[in-house]
Structure 1
């Protein structure tokens, strides 16, 4: 606070702090507060809100587990979707890390600055296009008679076209691509701070490449991996466009269920409760990643 005042003066600092506070209050705190209050109400017509039938309840949260048999693992429909979303978002996070790690290493420590800048530009340019258009592009690429199947069948990898859009494959591919940069840049930033002399010393001592990455590079890049994993998981779990366009009815995402309760079922209390359970899941994942990688908020902020 004192550094901010010393740099910009008391008047400008007060305006900046007040503007930030108003923005957070109006765009973050109040909407969440209203949604939280909604989630504890029963679903009644608008004219009956505030009346004797409009009471507080935990039924909206319990409804996610209604009809679930724990002993036979027979889950309720909405709970199945919730579990599928957790698994899918975790898999997208792992795929993003697997794809981005070698690229981030190459850009940070192998490529020349000019080449690295050119390759980063090639990565960024497609993301100047709207997310919906990029998702539709993947819809065309992954179509049954699309260019991907034509190429795979043409080179003899597949005997017949594969239905990418009838299961989880299309959603996983689309999400991995959509959130690639959120894993790439934290990894690059973390790897760039590694002293290359450590790697050279390990090579001089005869260490193979895989051991260098396992014992030197990956431990050093833990904050970057943690930040990337958090961002990709949260964005994947809360994504709506990609699973709606590239998924099928049997691979519905939990965000689609929330949308249905809000707008098709007109049950805002249940939709709010489901949204907060998804938010709680994301918070638990963030805390779990921080504990797993043994990083704190200071490490992540770097």
Structure 2
């Protein structure tokens, strides 16, 4: 990487760029994570007790999660729901990404991309709250369905996890579309035409030609969507019911309501471990490396 920067910008500027990257990685990524890990292995003590006999490393903060059946069930539900959000977002995004890359004219693609991007100029909380209004018991969606005669009574979309799933798919769809779009756009259209001319149907063409080429983009989109969904707080807080709590809400409560940063750090670190494990699993399933994802 340094040699590429040196060839493009020269030696002094390349050193400065690498130094800024190193400062950012160390100061904003590595050190905060190490501090979180250190907090997670220590008990929550009064200021006067810090450095005393009780200030020792322990696994009690981690044992709290595995000893609390409610928190443990929410933890696994969050992981499963994040996988479901990722899957739904992939199914919604792939056809749209293919349309933008290989079917739409440049003007149509530009217009579609603009329509996708414009809503994201608004703050995430406001966009999420707009879905709260749309999905409300007496909201416009229920009014439309009642007016069309598709339902007999209003549906409580916000009573379970349905509203959270819809809100997350909408909130993170761009993080799935753009990597897949970039991957499919780099595919030579002659390969698709050749497959079609040789008698392959669209399903076989996608399975044998397009999806294998787009694997790095699909893997990148799945990783980004899963991590954003698993770490989301605003969407489940606004669209979720009391029975559909997200694990991030429990972490927030430990930090800011319970005042137990050590316990919150342990919960956050476990969530981070799961996210890292998911990244490894996706890379193994799609048979891609970090270099393929970073392209």
TM-score, normalization: structure 2?
0.96
1:152 to 131, 145, 162: 145
- The offset of 1:22, in angstroms, is 1.8
Structure 2 distance, partners of 1:263, 1:47, is 21
Q: Which runs of 5+ in 1 are unaligned?
A: 68-75
- What are the Cα deviations for residues 209-235 of structure 1, in whole angstroms up to 9, with x where unaligned? 222212221122111110000000000
Instruction: Spell out structure 1 runs of 4+ moving beyond 4 A.
Output: none
Alignment-derived partner of residue 56 in structure 1 = 57
Alpha-carbon RMSD across the aligned residues, in angstroms, is 1.2
Alignment-derived partner of residue 188 in structure 1 = 181
Structure 2 distance, partners of 1:23, 1:199, is 42
TM-score, normalization: structure 1?
0.94
- What are the Cα deviations for residues 119-167 of structure 1, in whole angstroms up to 9, with x where unaligned? 1111101101110110111111111101111111111221111111110
2:234 to 229, 237, 241: 241
Structure 1 distance, partners of 2:41, 2:183, is 43
Structure 2 distance, partners of 1:50, 1:257, is 28
Structure 1 distance, partners of 2:230, 2:65, is 17
Structure 2 distance, partners of 1:8, 1:105, is 36
Residues 1:204 and 1:2: Cα distance change in structure 2 (over 3 Å): closer
Q: Which runs of 5+ in 2 are unaligned?
A: none
- Structure 1 residue matching 2:243: 3-state secondary structure: helix
Matches of residues 150-299 of structure 1 in structure 2 within 5 Å?
150-299=143-292
Structure 1 range deviating more: 197-206 or 35-44: 197-206
Q: 2:118 aligned with 1:125, yes or no?
A: yes
Aligned length: 294
- What are the Cα deviations for residues 49-89 of structure 1, in whole angstroms up to 9, with x where unaligned? 1111222101111221115xxxxxxxx11110101101110
